[in-house]
Amino acid sequence: MNLHLLARGLGFDAAGKFVAVRLADGGSDNALYDTRRDAVRHQFDEKLCAYVRVTPNGMNVCAAESFMATQRKLYDAGFRLTDPDDARGGKQVVPRLMRESQAASFAALKR
């Protein structure tokens, strides 16, 4: 995500756009998409990626790891958050801010 803010020369103009990140290794196709739906539709298999909106502040390593861990657990539990035919690209999970709440969410997924 930070690469899109810095290397592309778009700066804050990259904010609000989407990046498709492979669940397997955290890599991407290095493309920046205007909408989540566009990001989903341009993947070989939309179920192999997580889709994240670029924020003006970027994302630190801890936040990126937390995001990817959450996405991987959701997919492993059978959730499918993407839909290329949905006007917005599919469902999104609203992240919890407190560690205890995240632990409760993950425990509920295992049931």
**pLDDT digits 0-9 by tens, 39-87:** 988 998 878 898 888 877 777 888 888 888 888 988 888 877 666 566 7
Domain that includes residue 90, residue range:
2-110
Rounded Cα distance between 2 and 105, Å, is 28
Domain count of the fold of the chain:
1
What's the confidence (pLDDT) of residue 58? 75
